[in-house]
Amino acid sequence: MDVYPTLCELAGLDKPDHLEGTTMVPLLKKPERSWKIAAFTQAVRGFSGRFMGRSVRLDRYRYVEWKDWIEGSIIARELYDHKTDPEENRNVVDWPEHRQLVQRLSYMLSVGWKGVKPRRF
């Protein structure tokens, strides 16, 4: 989450080296500037922690990969088109017309937030 690095900068504190994220101070100073193109989330399914869902959200789409952390395999994928299905009722990940989009979003998910960092300010 980018809140912690932002608060560090606003308070005049150095950001700890282990901390991920990017300060949003440039965006606060100039709200009209372009920023990250995606947001990332992750959630554990069940109490064992064996299954983890990771998702990337763009303006129009949300893509999810569910992974078995013991075996290391992806057990399910989801793709939702928020333009036609804002409530995420129809998983379109297997639709042939979305094949390239799924590949691109899977790659984005694999490189994570560092792959969509804003340009230097």
52-91 per-position pLDDT tens digit: 999 999 999 999 999 998 898 999 999 999 999 999 999 9
**DSSP run (H or E) holding 110:** helix 99-111
Residue 57 burial (CB count, 10 A): 16
Q: Residue 110: which pLDDT band, with cuts at 50, 70 and 90? A: confident
Is the distance from CB of 61 to CB of 77 less than 8 angstroms?
no
Q: List the domains of the chain with CATH numbers.
A: 1-34 (no CATH), 36-121 (3.30.1120.10)
Given a cut of 90, whether residue 31 has pLDDT beyond it is no
Q: Rounded to whole angstroms, how far apart are CA atoms 81 and 60?
A: 6
Taking the model in full, what pTM does it have? 0.73
Given a cut of 50, whether residue 121 has pLDDT beyond it is no
Strand pairing report for 39-45 and 51-57: antiparallel
Q: Rounded to whole angstroms, how far apart are CA atoms 68 and 8?
A: 35
